[in-house]
Homo-oligomer: A and B are copies of this chain.
Amino acid sequence: MSHNSFGHLFRVTTWGESHGPAIGCVVDGTPPGTKLSEAMIQHFLDERRPGQSRYTTQRQEPDQVRILSGTMPGEAEGELIATGTPIALEIQNVDQRSKDYGDIARRYRPGHADIAYDIKYGIRDYRGGGRSSARETAMRVAAGAIARQIVPGLSVRGALVQIGSIAIDRSRFDWDETRRNPFFCPDAQIAERWAELLDATRKSGSSIGAVVEVVAEGVPAGLGAPLYGKLDADIAANLMSINAVKGVEIGDGFASATLSGEENADEIRMGNDGRPVFLSNHAGGILGGISTGQAVVARFAVKPTSSILTPRRSIDADGHEVDVMTKGRHDPCVGIRAVPIGEAMVACAIADHYLRHRGQTGRI
């Protein structure tokens, strides 16, 4: 048990606060021989990095990752080979200048975790959000980059499919498009509408929620175990642990409540390669908590950030009633940056279950 770890055979422990000297993580259980590089991990970190468009916070975080343990040099330039011992990753915090946090230190932002931390611990690192800062998610992305290397043939991609009430049109879903706009949006037309929406949101100092979809292809069948080590249960926990996430779905998710048994049943035929072919994927690639070989499809809802310019009623740590507004650099839609984080958390769950399945059954 641990408050700051997830996974079992592929186990990640993160540490660090927004304004401490560094953040980091320990990735334990990487199979020996797994090929890595700092560049490969950096690639995914760069996707998550803020300040890349006017739609994410302008705070500059170089987020240069270093691998401190657990590898030996490989043959190619920059290539590293995992030795099977724990891989420590670390990112220096460049912007730790002391400043006056007076108000933030004592006043609770409505909708933010700071009051919960104070209730739980009686003490809280208020500097830049402390442990609850989105900065921690960089380490999830880094761990996810390693997870991707563990399962042969695995591809995990994410897209933003809804901002506010504007959802994409499934008929225009195009993975390539997600790399062409600043929203990871798979629908070029909707991306334009989001741009307008977020410009308005940003100007008004407001924020807005979103829905992210993650699709994992190449997931071997058989991952996950009944009944409390289900792949979907672990994906749900992993995604729900991301800052600001309030809902998780697998496959048709909440829409499955409206289906009949006939509609929901993913029929099966034999493929030309002698393997089962599912004719639909309402199940999102998971039946009984076990992967079927279909694409694993998960979605999660991200609430709007509580950092807004409009004053809201609240209290301070002494119990005085106050009005709170949050100045400074903000993300109008934190759901955008949640896309690579969601990918990473799904990849980590799959890698963990891949090793667990191999351990218990020896079938892969």
Would you call A113 and B288 a contact (CB within 8 A)? yes
Does A283 lie at the interface of the complex (its beta carbon under 8 Å from any beta carbon of B)? yes
- Distance, CA A209 to CA B258, complexed state (A): 6
- Distance, CA A362 to CA B286, complexed state (A): 24
Q: Which of A36-44, A114-122, A170-178, A180-188 has 4 or more CB atoms under 8 Å from chain B? A: A114-122
A254-B246, A274-B319 as given contacts; A304 in contact with B131, CB under 8 Å = no
A206-B262, A288-B117 as given contacts; A123 in contact with B84, CB under 8 Å = yes
Would you call B4 and A83 a contact (CB within 8 A)? no
Would you call B314 and A268 a contact (CB within 8 A)? yes
Closest to A319 in B: B270
Q: Considering only CB atoms and an 8 Å cut-off, how many residues of chain A contact the other chain?
A: 155
- Distance in angstroms from A71 CB to nearest chain B CB is 8
- Distance in angstroms from A259 CB to nearest chain B CB is 5
Would you call A267 and B312 a contact (CB within 8 A)? yes
- Distance, CA A24 to CA B85, complexed state (A): 13
Would you call B228 and A3 a contact (CB within 8 A)? yes
Would you call A2 and B29 a contact (CB within 8 A)? yes
CB-CB under 8 A from A302, the residues of chain B are: 256-257
Does A218 lie at the interface of the complex (its beta carbon under 8 Å from any beta carbon of B)? no
Would you call B222 and A119 a contact (CB within 8 A)? yes
- Distance, CA A216 to CA B234, complexed state (A): 23
- Distance, CA A29 to CA B250, complexed state (A): 26
Closest to A250 in B: B246
A115-B292, A117-B290, A305-B261 as given contacts; A1 in contact with B5, CB under 8 Å = no
CB-CB under 8 A from A132, the residues of chain B are: 226, 288
The interface bits of chain A over 208-219 (1 if a CB of B lies within 8 angstroms of the residue's CB, else 0) are 111100000000
Find the residue from A21, A201, A250, A257 having the highest chain B CB count within 10 A.
A257
